């Protein structure tokens, strides 16, 4: 298993591809911002802690055994605390309160805890790339986070056949998916036992 990263243990390839060797097996991972997939609102840089990369590589290693045609794409990791990110979060938080005034716990999970996790580098978002179809399969566009909890659970049930193996792979790798179903459909994970190692930047 990977115990840490240095210039010997992984190589950055073209187009955001990173390859590492885990237990003698070459494992490929993508690290690309969401704007590469037609979502121009996203930052064009992905910052990731060494620990998040380690976790994503381990998850990909496990996923290769369950779903060999799928590749994990790390789209958002450590989020610098900028005025824009705070403004965007504040606007989203306010809109969510208007739409769902009784869901205070969900609001805190989506708009407060998630932001804190990204700022600490313990939270990260992923997409899934299907090699056969040649495209990413995002479970839920970000703007649809304003759907009801029941609707989010219905979507999860329909996509469970490929979401559950990913959740299991990340759990075995040391990260848990958000317990809030709308945030879970954003494929937001948080490290279970973070210890804040080095950071890497990908453009």
Query: In the chain, where are the structural domains located?
Result: 10-202
Q: How far apart are CA 106 and CA 103, in angstroms?
A: 5
pLDDT of residue 121: 82
Average pLDDT, the chain: 77
Averaged pLDDT, 77-96: 78
- How far apart are alpha carbons 139 and 151 in whole angstroms? 13
- Rounded distance between C-alpha atoms, residue 124 and residue 33, angstroms: 12
Phi, psi of 35 (to 5 degrees): -65, -20
CA of residue 76 relative to chain centroid, distance: 6
CB 14 within 8 A of CB 168: no
Rounded average pLDDT over 79-105: 83
**What is the percent of the chain where pLDDT is above 70?**
72
pLDDT of the residue at 16 = 62
Locate 151 and state its tokens. Answer: 């609707």
Cβ neighbours of residue 175 under 8 Å, at least 6 residues apart?
55, 59, 124, 189, 190, 191, 192
Query: What would the pLDDT profile of 27-81 be if each residue is shown by its tens digit?
Result: 777 777 664 444 434 444 567 777 888 888 889 989 998 898 888 888 888 776 6
Q: What is the predicted pLDDT for the residue at 11?
A: 45
Query: What CATH fold (topology level) applies to the domain 10-202?
Result: Muramoyl-pentapeptide Carboxypeptidase; domain 2 (3.30.1380)
3-state class (DSSP) for residue 140: coil
150 versus 28: the higher-pLDDT residue is 150
């Amino acid at each position: 298993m990977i115990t840490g990263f240095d210039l010997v243990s992984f190589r950055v390839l073209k187009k955001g591809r990173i390859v590492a060797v885990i237990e003698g097996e070459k494992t490929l991972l993508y690290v690309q911002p969401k704007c590469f997939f037609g979502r121009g609102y996203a930052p064009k840089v992905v910052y990731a802690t060494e620990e998040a990369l380690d976790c994503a590589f381990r998850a990909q290693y496990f996923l290769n055994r369950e779903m060999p045609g799928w590749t994990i794409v790390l789209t958002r990791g450590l989020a610098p605390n900028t005025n824009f990110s705070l403004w965007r979060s504040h606007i989203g938080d306010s809109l969510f309160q208007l739409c769902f005034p009784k869901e205070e716990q969900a609001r805190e999970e989506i708009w407060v805890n998630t932001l804190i996790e990204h700022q600490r580098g313990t939270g990260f978002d992923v997409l899934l790339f299907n090699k056969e179809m040649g495209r990413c399969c995002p479970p839920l566009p970000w703007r649809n986070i304003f759907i009801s909890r029941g609707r989010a659970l219905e979507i999860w049930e329909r996509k469970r056949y490929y979401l559950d193996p990913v959740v299991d792979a990340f759990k075995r790798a040391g990260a848990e998916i958000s317990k809030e179903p709308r945030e879970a459909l954003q494929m937001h994970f948080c490290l279970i036992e973070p210890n804040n190692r080095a950071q890497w930047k990908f453009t």
